[in-house]
Structure formats: structure tokens, C-alpha cells
Structure 1
Amino acid sequence: MLFRALRLRFLAFSLLPVAAAAQVLDPLVVTATRSPQPLSALPVTVDVFNADDLSDTTALTVDEALKASAAFSLFRRQGSLSANPTTQGVSLRNLGPNGAGRTLVLVDGIPLNDPFGGWVTWSKAPRLALTSAEIVRGGGSSAWGSAALGGTIQLLTASSQPADAAVSSTQLQIEGGDFGTFAADLHHTTVRGADTFTINTRGFRSDGFRRTASEWAGPIDRPTDLEQGTAQVSWSRTTTNGTRGTLTARIFREERGNGTPLQRNRTREALLAASASGTLELLSAPADWTATAYVQTQEFANRFTSVSDARDSEIAVLDQYAVPADAAGAAATITWSDNDQTTTAGADVRWVQGETRENYFRSGDDFTRNRRAGGTQTFAGVFAHHDRALTSALRGSLSARLDAWQLSDAHRIEIDRTAGSIVREDDLPSRDGVEFNPRAGLVWQATNNWRLHTAAYSAFRLPTLNELYRPFRVGNDITEANPDLAPESLRGIELGTTFATRDLRLRANAFTNRLEDAVANVTLGAGPGVVPGVGFVPAGGLGRRRENLPRVDVHGLELSAHWQPATALTLRADYLYSDSSDHATGLNLPQVSRHTVVLGADWRPLAALTFGAQARYLSDAYEDDANTLVLDAAMTVDLRLGYRFAADRELFVAIENVFDEAVVTRRTTDGLYDLGTPRFSRAGVRWTW
């Protein structure tokens, strides 16, 4: 009955009357196929945000700005300002949200996902330099490999052209607000002939807010304070034949409190990247090529505690004092077009090595055990994409990718710190495999204003080093690692339609996905006592282990509307229905809201005055895999007012969660729950010169 209703809604949406207005030109999208393609030629659903969408948003961070898409969500209902970094895994269409995420996030082709755990540190992205963001929904492994199982998000920055004389521009944004929040961003570009120099810096601090709900909070609870700093410099040169090369270096640091005096984490990162692009002759035709390479080193530290029932004291139960992780990668692509057909081919490699170093098993005033666990992942892939006009109105595309992966150097060593003896030593065997992932699609341009698309695809994801080798504890809940986890695999199909005129764009999309061997934290028992496969679990806690669920079904419907009734006014609506469940039990996946609605308006009543509003609704979800802990439905409303008092200066005021909605983000078996961002007001100024 459900899918019959969805089909009827979809058909009704598809049979809209054809208007006589001019066809709308779509932007070029690079993420879906790793080469520029018109949005109207793609058989998959893509959200495109331009520079104004990202800069004039009601949100303070990039991840909050992307929530204008109903398909986008983080693992928990918290933004990056207050969430523990390990819970910032990205989910698209609610495809099994978890801390690792099943979505690849890129900045100019370089992965932003954490090399050890897969989560995303959004503040590394140079926000003022961003010119666009692309959210490609559906399995993306045919283009990008393992991490893109659920889709791909790419943040793109500006690229200056050579100038005859020295040209420079600077943009500075300073803002402050509630909870002692202060942020400063600087973007500077100088173009001197063939050379371009770019500097991006950001400093941020906030006292934060208290996450624990007031009825449960005690003397031990603290605001989630945060300090961040990042600096990025780039140098580009364009040769006389049009070849362009870029070198980029970035450093990042973060200090974060997680709600009590002892719960804190720290991140340090350094990255060096190089890219080049140009044109060459291939098969007697010009072809565009690109190449990228990067090296990254990072260290993460995190401390977990157990808080007393009265919430007046805590003790550290796990000190993850160092998680060093290194990564390196390289990729090359070539694209050529001829007679209304385009072909892109390429190859890439990626290497990741990481290890958690932590003390655990508290006795008295000290930890008695030490654990070192980690390994190495290596990926290599080749891919090809081809699309062509089959008729004047029908376009077909075919993509395929072959990946080889290997897990090596896997280990888990646990030492009794008192006696100095080894109590566990797992020297795990190496594993490897080969994955083949195709995608096929059709786009039918039925009229100038109306088109339909369909796509079928497969994708895979290799579990992260964190999922494979590192157990963890949050409060009294303990989750055991599983080095035998199999790669996840996905098969999906979608059917969509778009109707667009100069002032109106309507879109509908129905999809179904089957996710096999989905990695999930499966509850095996409750404390107090020994839970098989986990060990001793204290009272009030749950014992869980990472397992592969044989099959997860995700079915859904997306509807969106973008209407500009007047030059100064834009209205938008985005809706996601997503039914994600464990096929064996019929239970819903944790952290999945069946309904997500985003409504927005942008109004410019005067040339210098702008007003923006956005509301986001989430229906009920479950905290746990047993579907016993409910996260209540919530709706937040955000507002922004901007006034440009000079050609190069703008003042703005923004309020997130205007009505101070209590958004439940976490619940525990003993009744405690955490809340998301309360009402948050800030004001700022932006200079450009």
C-alpha cells in the first residue's frame, strides 16, 4: 500500500502541464562523474549551492548550511559546534546513519573525512573561499570508490585567472554572539601575472552550551566549549599553454569540551596537496586532464568518563590519549568530448594508516590496562564514464569502476600496566578483495521544461580502522570492535522528474536501496554483568558489538520546489520520506527520522537589505537498535537579516532555533537525554576590499 501511494504521488507530480516559459540553464556539476557535466544531463539527483547560498545562510557552519537539503544529516541531531567529532558522520537520505558516515566529503577533490574514523571536521573547509557545494545523492562508488557508498559531497573553491597587472582582493568576516562565541575568517587572493597566491585563515572560540537536559543536569555538567584555528595557503601558476598547477598547505587545531570537566578531545592536522590540470591531444581531439596528490598527518585525543547518578562526580573510564593517523592519495582523470558524447576515465590510489593508543580499566586512581589497536588500508581503483545522446531527447550514461583493497598490519595489543605483561595480543591476518561497481542511467528531455531520469547503481564501503579495531565506551555503554567485518555493499535504483521554468522548479524522486552487510552497533546484553562478546558491563549500561546486518532496506520519496514569484523573493521547500529498517527484524535503524521537511525564504525588499528564514522539521526517531528509546519530533526555525551599508561592507544578524526548541539528540537506558543547539543569536560584519 505504501509504495502504491508513493507511485501515485510520483505520477501526479510527473504529469504537470508544460509551461511555455524558456528552459532554465543548469549549472555544471563535477562531482557526479569527476568531470564537468550539465545538471540536466545527469541521471541522479544533485543539490547545488552557490557562493551566496553558503555565505548568506542563517547557519554559522558549513554543515548547518547544507541542512537546507532535506537529504543531508549528521549521525546525531547536533551540528559540529557542539557534537563530539566521532559522531559527525554524514548521512544522505538516511542511509544507515552512524559515526563513520557512508558519504564521501571532498574539498576540491581532497577527502575531508577523518582517515581513522570516517567522520568529518567541517571547520577545515575554507568557508569564505567556497564558490559552490554539490550534494550527489545515491551510490557514488562508480566514480569515487569505497567512501562514497551513500553519495558524495564536494566543496569547491575559487580559481583565479592570470592577470596582466597585480590584482588583489581580501574578504574579512567577524562575528560574535551568545555563549561567548567569536569567529573571524579571512580570505585573501593576489594575482600577479601567471601566479596566484591565496591565504585562508579562521579562528573560532565559544564557551558553548550545556547539552544535558536541565531536569537531569547536575553540578558536574558543563557547557561544550570549543576553540579552533586553521590556516591554509595556496600558490597556483598557469603556463603559456594553459596548464595550471596548484600547491596547498593546511594546518588545523581544535580543543573541545564534551560536557563535563574530564571529557575533552583534541585534534591536530597538517596537509599538503598538489593539483594540476590542462589540455592535450588525444585520438586527434582535445582532451582535458586533471591530477591531484596529497599527504596528511593527524592526531586525535579523546577522554570518556562515567558520571555518578547524582551527576555530581565523574571518573575517567577510557583515555584515548593519542590516535595518530596518516593518509596519502593520488588521482588522475582525462575527459574528451566528440559529437555530443563525453568520456571520462581515470585511476586513483589511497593509503591510510592509523592506531588508537588508550588507557582503560580503571582501578582506584589509575588505569591498569593499555591498548594499542589499528592497521593499514590500501585502495586502488580504475574507472570510466561515458554518456551520449541516443536521440535528440534521450541521453544515456554508463559508469564502471574496479577497486582493489587490502587490510594489513592489523593488531590489537593490551598490556597490564601494573605487571607490565601482555594480556592480549592479536596479530590479525591480512585481508584483501576486489569490488566492481557499475552505474547506468537515462535522461529523457520530454519538453524544454520537463525531464525524467532513472538510474541503477551499486556501491561498496570498507569499514574504517575505527570500526574494525577500536572498542569504545560512552558512559556505561560499551561497544566492542570487530576485525572480521565484511565490506558493505549497496544496490539501488531511482526514478525522478524535474519541471523547470524561469521562475519555478519542481522535482520528485523515488528511490529504493538494499544495503547488505551494513555495519551497525548491535546490542548483545545489558549490565550489570558479563555480556558475551563484550565483557563486563556496569549497571545501567548496554553491551554492544559492531556486526554486519545481513540486509537493510531503505525506501523513500523526495519532493522539492523552488519558486521565485518576484525578483526580490525566493521560496523553497524540500521533503524527504525515508523508511530505513533491518530486513530481518523489521525494526527501524537508529537515528533515522522518517520525515524531514525544510522550508525556506529569501527576500530582498531593498537593494541593500536581505532577509532569510529557514525551518527544519524532523519526525520521531529511535536512539537504539531495539527501538525502545524515542527521540521526539522537533522543528527549528532560523532567521537572518543583512544590511549592506556600503558596496564593500555588510552587517548581519542571525538567530538559530528562534523558538528555543528542545531537540533531543541522545537518550540513555536510565532516562538521561541530551539536547541540541538552543536559541543562538549572533551578529557580524563582512568587509571586502
Structure 2
Amino acid sequence: MKKTTSIPAYFPAQLRPLLLALIAAWSPLTQAEGSDAALPEVVVKESQSVSEKNRLPTTTESITADKAADTVNAMNVEDTLKYLPNVLVRKRFIGDTQAPMSTRTTGINAGARSLIYADGTLLSALINNNNGNGSPRWFMVAPEEVERIDVLYGPFAAQYPGNSYGAVTEITTRMPEHFEASVKANTAFQDFSQYGTGNTYRSQEFSATLGNRSGDLSWWFSANHLDSYSQPVTYITAASAPAGSSGAYLTQDRTGKNLYVLGAGNLTHTVQDNAKLKLAYDFSPTLTATYTLGFWQNNADAHAQSYLRNAAGAQVYTSAFSSNDTEQEQWMQSLAVRSKTQGAWDWEAVASNFYVARDVTRTSTGAYPAAQSGGPGTIADAGGTGWNTLDLKGTWRPDGVSGAHVVSFGGHADEYKLVSPTYLTGNWVSGDNDALSVDSRGKTRTTALWAQDVWRLSQNWKATVGGRYEWWKAFDGYNFAAAGGGVNQPEVKHSGFSPKFSLAWAPDDNWQVTGSFGKALRFPTVGELYQNVQVGGIFLQPNPNLKPEKVLSSELAIERALDKGKARVSLFQEEVSDALISQTSTLGSGVASFTQNVDKTRQRGVELVVQKDDALIRGLELNGSVTYVDARILANSSFVSATTTSVGKRTPYVPEWRATLVATYRPDDKWAYTVAGRYSGRLYATVDNSDVNTNTYQGFDSYMVFDARVRYKIDKHWSSAVGIDNITNKDYFLFHPFPQRTLFAELKYDF
């Protein structure tokens, strides 16, 4: 009799077909008899992941450039991550510059809880821990230069700082071995309809690459131009409809109270240009230096749309409607020198600088519609913000690459600077700075030493022992508010040690069991320390005495080699003391948002990941993951309320369930057909979980989104692709309204 697989009742109904597909892919019936599949031995070669090359004790999931080209409708490099297990980049529209990454235990508003690198250069903006100016600078990497992307889960590697406790994303780019060039055109169309907004929003992108190697010198140049229009990013709302008007939409806010939607806000047109130059020189077969220079500029304008009409049918506005224009110019430089002897000693040094040359946002404060062409406003200027980093690393192999010990060690230094004054102006479109309204400035600096030993105890056992000691300080903090004057904030210092330990057991070639433990210290960012808060006429001074987050993470990962694939189950737990979470408090008639230390949170769960080539039929590849996380606030003495509590409630921004499934069929070497699904359970944005209504502006929905892509290689030069994201036109909110059904088309020529 045929055995059937049953799914527990508590498993979300939307995910049951997905789980059955993963079980089928993992089933012994899908493995060839006498299969010689095995988990790969960790040796150094260029095609391996970052964790394998560096012998890091970290669960890693990866995607190569070729696979991304076949399976992902990608306009920007961050799009290529969308199907990796437990990775969500909160990207609201094509060209969004505020796109932080969340992982299985960290939320979409916490850019400083994960790290993004490109060839060792930090793209994470650790000047804040939010989804605004703390978002990664993804735009400094062109999709065409990527060789592979690796995501390393958890803070188990000593070479990374405590910000790694969510994950580390390592983008590896390539250098040409001979002359090569390419041109590509992308276009996308989104049909969006919600409340009183209904329109088609287009995006188009043109990119070109050029590179060559001549003897010991290789070089690479890439350029991108993006022109994009977004759906509404925000909505203008009020507790009641304006008297004498019609057209407002009655709904409920995220706490369930009645709310009127008066219009759409931040309909954004953005034009971005990116240019990148990489030069590499081989001083010898074992010593290479690489210099990278990146430039990015953005010109964006956003306007509002009113749904309100008066008795005569004319469009009317309230004081909440506004427009804004943004001009940005940012530079990135890095210099990396690396040896690659694979002998007793190797070393590398990477220095980088990221500088905001211009970042001016002009916002109207006058009455619409006249305000669209001028009048009073504000000018926010973040020019001068930036950071510098330096990483030194050595590797000692006393007994060779496969010897009993491989010791790595190094040092790190960084400095972050925040500059963010806001001025009043008489003409927000073209006027000069007038009186200073608010200002927030400050710096942080961290230095660290670390060491790690990969110790092969026997043929089947391997231990990794390491630690990292960090010294951190915040200084030159300054806040100004027109109503209260300026305040010089005190200098703050912290330091601490973070031990790391991992033990791996491989009983045979097909199985590997790895237990890992790591402590991490995540120090406050400049923005968390020195952000001004205004409630009506009341100004709150920021809290420069925030304590570092102290993280204890552990994972038990069991991996099984399949015939042409692999499967992994991970049990993980993370406890965070003094978690830095944005909370709200009522002050008079207003509500203020500010960051405080939450005494303790705990996130623990289980993750299943399966990858299988030639699954069921030849040419069919399946990739999928399902993750369950129980995320709770265990203690929070800083939260005071007479009617509610935060203890025992779900940790903000961490969903209970998340899943992906990608099926790609390649009947030959020309065609690739992909269907993919992404699921996330609802999440809470408040520590007391009072935001019970999800499908509304500022709410956080659950969603199941399906995508498709077809790629055709016409010949050795030409390739094309068409695709659809959100096939079923799912209407959902992650605070902001997210894109609805979007069509993609791509044409590429490789010389």
C-alpha cells in the first residue's frame, strides 16, 4: 500500500504543497541507487563559496551569476537574493535606495544587524540601524560584474563584527581573462490599483560593461542608467474626512481604528547612474592588488495625488500633502592586496572609503497645489556623511592546506560619520538655506583583533575555535533643535570579547553534523545615538547612553548529500540582551518614536532547505526552504503602559513562517523556464503587538507571491528573457504598499 505524507494542522495551509514538494525532493526515492554523492571536502578553489574558501564555521547558501540570470527577474543586484532561504530585501520599487536586508532572526527595519560586502568592501551603511539612511549601498555593484553571492548565517566567524548576527552577504565580482564587453536593456511595467490610484508604472535600465586582461594587468568598467516610476510609497491619512469634501476612503489603521485615506504620497520618479572601474595587477603569480572606484548619482522627485473633491468636483488638498526632490552623489573607493600562495603563509589587506559628496532633499511645507511649484519648505543635507574601514588578515598553515591546523588572525578598524542638518527655506524648489531647524551629528569608531583556528581532530571531526575583542566609542555627538538650542553629547565607550566555537562531525561522505556557538556585540550606530525627535512643540534629546546588543547564538545543522543535490535541517536559537528596538511613547497629545534597550529577546526555530538537480525528470532543478521561528520578548523594563504589556509578545518584524520554492526546467542549453513562490507570515511592528490589522497602510501582511521567468540563449552573443513578478497580483503591505503584478523584458548582447 502506498504511504502518504500528512502535514500537521498547525502548518499554514498555503505552505503545505511547498512542504510536500521539499519532502519529495529529499526522499530516498529521488536518490539514485549506489549514488556516489558526497558532501564536498573543504579545499581552496575559486568556484567555492566564501565560507569554504576561508574555512568558516557558518551555514552558507549561495547563488551564482549564471543561475541568477536563468531564474530571477533582476533589475538591480539585490534582486538576485530574493529566493535564498530566509533572506528578504525590503525593496519597495525598482530604484529604491532604502532596501535593508532581513534574515531569519532580524527584521526589515534593522540594516545594521546584517553585513553586505563586495570583494571585502563594506556596502552596509552602519551609520544607522533602520530602513532609511542605514540601508546598504547595493547600487555600487552592477549585476553584470557579479560572479556569485554567498549568504553566511549567524555570528560564528571571528573575522566578522557583531553586526553579522543576522547574516553576512559576500558579493564576489569577477575580473576578465580576455577582452569582453556587453550591453543590456531591461524594462518593467507594473499595473497598480489601490484606493483611488490606478496607473501603469514603468522602469527601464540600460547597462554596458567592458574589460580585458593584458599580461599582469586586468581592468573592468561598467555603467548603468535607470529611469523608474514607483507606485505610491505612502498614503495621506486622517482620523476623519475633511468637511465639505468627498472621495476619501474609509478603512482601518493597523490597530483597528477607523481611518480615512485622503490621497497617495511619494509617487517617485528616480533617475540613477552608476559607473564602476576596477584595476587589478599581478605583481607575481601569488600577489595581486585591486583598486576599485565607484560613483553613483540619483535625481528623484516625488509628488502627491489627492482623492478629495469639493462640491464642484474640483480636487482639494489638506496640509498633509507635500512634494520633495532629492539629489545624491556618492563615491566608493577600495584597495585590496592579497597573497594566494596556499603555502604556509598568506595575507591580505583591504582599505575602503565611502563618501556622500551630495545628499540634499528639499521638501515642501506650504499648501497644495501651489506648493508644487515653490513656497516654504525644508532642506535636509546629509553631505559629508561616510565611513572608512581597514581590515588586515593573515593565514598560517603549519602543516599545509589539509593539515591539522589552519590559523587565521587579523585586525579591523572603522570610523563612521553622520552629518544631517535640516534648514528652513523660503522656496523649497530653488531657495537657499535659511535658519537651522534641527541637526544631528556624531561619529563612532571601532577597532578589533581576532583569531581563529580550524583544528582537524581526526578524519571525521573538525573543531573551530576563535574569538574577537572589540573597542568601540561614540564621540563628537551634537544635537540642535530650534526650540531648545544645541547640546554636545558626552563621549561613550564600550569594549568586549566575543568567543566562537564550532564542532563538525562527518560520519561518512554523505552526512555532516555541525554545532556552532557564538557571542556577538552589536554596538549602537550614530543614528541610534543622536537622532532628534520632535512631538508637536516638544523636542526630546536623544539617548547617547544606549548599551550594545549582546547576542548569544547557537545552531545545530544537519546536512545530507543527495544525488545531484543536498538537504539541510538547522535548529537555531538566538538570545539578545539589551536589544536596540524602536519603541513608542505617548507625550501629551502626541506619540514619539525612539530607540531604547529591550532587556531580552529570544528567537529560536527550525529551517529546512533542499536543492536537487534532475528532480523527477531530467533538467528540472528544485530549490526550496521552509523556516519556523518562535520570536519572543522575554523582558522589557523600559516599556511602561497601564493597559498592555510587551513581555511574551512576538519580537517586532520577525515572521513566524517564511518559505521559498523555485523550480527551473532546462530542456537544453538554450532554454530555462522558472516558476517561483515566496511566502512570509504576518509580523508585528510594535513591542506590545497592538498592530492587529495587517492589510492597511503601516500594517504588515502575510503574503504568498508567485513569479515566473523564461530565458532564451539565441546564440553565443544574444540572449533574451521575459518574466512576471507577483503573477496573481497579490495586494499586500509591508508598512508601505508593495508592488503588484509586474512584467519584465530583457535583451542582452555579449561580445
Structure-1 residue corresponding to 2:155: 139
1:509-539 CA-to-partner distances (Å, cap 9, x unmatched) read 011110111111111116xx35xxxxxx3xx
Runs of 4+ in 1 over 6 A off after TM superposition: 15-19, 27-31, 304-308, 310-318, 364-368, 473-480
Structure-1 residue corresponding to 2:382: 322
Question: Which of 548, 571, 596 is matched with 2:622 structurally?
Answer: 571
- 5 Å matches for 1:162-177? 167-177=178-188
Could you tell me whether the CA contact under 8 Å between 1:460 and 1:487 is conserved in 2? yes
1:253-306 CA-to-partner distances (Å, cap 9, x unmatched) read 12334563514444321122111112579xxx5312111112221143446778
**In 2, Cα distance between the equivalents of 1:626 and 1:251?**
43
Could you tell me whether the CA contact under 8 Å between 1:304 and 1:474 is conserved in 2? no
- 5 Å matches for 1:47-446? 47-56=61-70, 57-74=72-89, 77-79=90-92, 81=94, 83=96, 85=98, 88-117=99-128, 118-139=134-155, 142-160=158-176, 167-178=178-189, 179-212=201-234, 215=249, 218=262, 221=265, 223-257=267-301, 260=304, 262-279=323-340, 286-298=344-356, 299-302=358-361, 319-337=379-397, 338=399, 339-359=403-423, 370-415=437-482, 423-446=484-507
Structure-2 residue corresponding to 1:677: 739
Residue 54 of structure 1 aligns to a residue in which SS? helix
1:583-631 CA-to-partner distances (Å, cap 9, x unmatched) read 1211223322211111111111233111112110111112333322232
**In 2, Cα distance between the equivalents of 1:112 and 1:174?**
25
Question: Which of 584, 589, 610 is matched with 1:561 structurally?
Answer: 610
Deviation of residue 644 (structure 1)?
1.1
**In 2, Cα distance between the equivalents of 1:29 and 1:373?**
48
Could you tell me whether the CA contact under 8 Å between 2:93 and 2:739 is conserved in 1? no
**In 2, Cα distance between the equivalents of 1:316 and 1:628?**
37
**In 1, Cα distance between the equivalents of 2:205 and 2:628?**
36
**In 2, Cα distance between the equivalents of 1:83 and 1:113?**
15
1:665 aligns with 2:676: no
**In 1, Cα distance between the equivalents of 2:295 and 2:744?**
27
**In 2, Cα distance between the equivalents of 1:659 and 1:96?**
26
1:492 aligns with 2:553: yes
1:300–1:330 CA distance, 2 compared to 1 (3 A): same
Could you tell me whether the CA contact under 8 Å between 1:648 and 1:688 is conserved in 2? yes
Structure-1 residue corresponding to 2:240: none
**In 2, Cα distance between the equivalents of 1:478 and 1:439?**
43
Residue 527 of structure 2 aligns to a residue in which SS? helix
Aligned amino acid, residue 380 of structure 2: Q
Deviation of residue 451 (structure 1)?
1.1
Counting matched residue pairs gives 640
**In 2, Cα distance between the equivalents of 1:602 and 1:643?**
13
Structure-2 residue corresponding to 1:671: none
Deviation of residue 650 (structure 1)?
0.4
Structure-1 residue corresponding to 2:662: 600
1:11-33 CA-to-partner distances (Å, cap 9, x unmatched) read x99x98797422346497999xx
Aligned amino acid, residue 69 of structure 1: L
Deviation of residue 636 (structure 1)?
0.9
1:483-531 CA-to-partner distances (Å, cap 9, x unmatched) read 21111110011111011123231110011110111111111116xx35x
**In 2, Cα distance between the equivalents of 1:317 and 1:139?**
44
1:543 aligns with 2:592: yes
Aligned amino acid, residue 663 of structure 2: A
1:611 aligns with 2:611: no
Aligned amino acid, residue 592 of structure 2: G
In terms of mean alpha carbon deviation, does 210-219 or 593-602 score higher? 210-219
**In 1, Cα distance between the equivalents of 2:687 and 2:354?**
35
Deviation of residue 447 (structure 1)?
1.8
Identical-pair percentage:
18
1:580 aligns with 2:631: yes
1:264–1:599 CA distance, 2 compared to 1 (3 A): farther
- 5 Å matches for 1:502-541? 502-525=563-586, 529=588, 537=590
CA RMSD of aligned residues (A): 3.6
Could you tell me whether the CA contact under 8 Å between 2:345 and 2:396 is conserved in 1? yes
Deviation of residue 577 (structure 1)?
1.2
Could you tell me whether the CA contact under 8 Å between 1:72 and 1:91 is conserved in 2? yes
**In 2, Cα distance between the equivalents of 1:413 and 1:430?**
17
Aligned amino acid, residue 438 of structure 2: R
1:402–1:431 CA distance, 2 compared to 1 (3 A): same
**In 1, Cα distance between the equivalents of 2:540 and 2:327?**
22
1:313–1:324 CA distance, 2 compared to 1 (3 A): same
1:321–1:473 CA distance, 2 compared to 1 (3 A): farther
TM-score, length of structure 2 as denominator length? 0.78
**In 2, Cα distance between the equivalents of 1:474 and 1:646?**
62
Could you tell me whether the CA contact under 8 Å between 1:58 and 1:614 is conserved in 2? no
In terms of mean alpha carbon deviation, does 261-270 or 644-653 score higher? 261-270
Deviation of residue 147 (structure 1)?
2.8
TM-score, length of structure 1 as denominator length? 0.85
**In 1, Cα distance between the equivalents of 2:347 and 2:176?**
18
1:103-132 CA-to-partner distances (Å, cap 9, x unmatched) read 011011011012532321322212111001
Aligned amino acid, residue 649 of structure 1: W
**In 2, Cα distance between the equivalents of 1:144 and 1:233?**
27
| Gaps in structure 2 of 5+ consecutive residues | 1-9, 12-18, 129-133, 190-200, 236-247, 250-259, 305-321, 636-646, 695-699
Deviation of residue 370 (structure 1)?
1.9
Aligned amino acid, residue 291 of structure 2: L
Could you tell me whether the CA contact under 8 Å between 1:59 and 1:656 is conserved in 2? no
Could you tell me whether the CA contact under 8 Å between 2:502 and 2:514 is conserved in 1? yes
Aligned amino acid, residue 183 of structure 1: E
Aligned amino acid, residue 441 of structure 1: S
**In 2, Cα distance between the equivalents of 1:218 and 1:454?**
54
**In 2, Cα distance between the equivalents of 1:174 and 1:523?**
45
Residue 551 of structure 2 aligns to a residue in which SS? strand
**In 2, Cα distance between the equivalents of 1:132 and 1:474?**
46
Residue 686 of structure 2 aligns to a residue in which SS? coil
**In 2, Cα distance between the equivalents of 1:509 and 1:220?**
43
Aligned amino acid, residue 627 of structure 2: L
1:654 aligns with 2:715: no
Deviation of residue 562 (structure 1)?
1.1
Deviation of residue 221 (structure 1)?
3.5
Aligned amino acid, residue 459 of structure 1: A
Aligned amino acid, residue 653 of structure 1: V
**In 1, Cα distance between the equivalents of 2:632 and 2:53?**
31
1:18-70 CA-to-partner distances (Å, cap 9, x unmatched) read 97422346497999xx9965389654311111111333313333323212123
Structure-1 residue corresponding to 2:6: none
Deviation of residue 442 (structure 1)?
0.9
Residue 239 of structure 1 aligns to a residue in which SS? strand
1:318–1:89 CA distance, 2 compared to 1 (3 A): farther
Residue 156 of structure 1 aligns to a residue in which SS? strand
Could you tell me whether the CA contact under 8 Å between 1:590 and 1:622 is conserved in 2? yes
Aligned amino acid, residue 300 of structure 1: D
Could you tell me whether the CA contact under 8 Å between 2:492 and 2:545 is conserved in 1? no
Deviation of residue 181 (structure 1)?
0.9
Which structure has more strand as a fraction of its residues?
Answer: 1
**In 2, Cα distance between the equivalents of 1:47 and 1:71?**
10
In terms of mean alpha carbon deviation, does 53-62 or 562-571 score higher? 53-62
Residue 144 of structure 1 aligns to a residue in which SS? coil
**In 1, Cα distance between the equivalents of 2:184 and 2:40?**
30
**In 1, Cα distance between the equivalents of 2:323 and 2:163?**
33
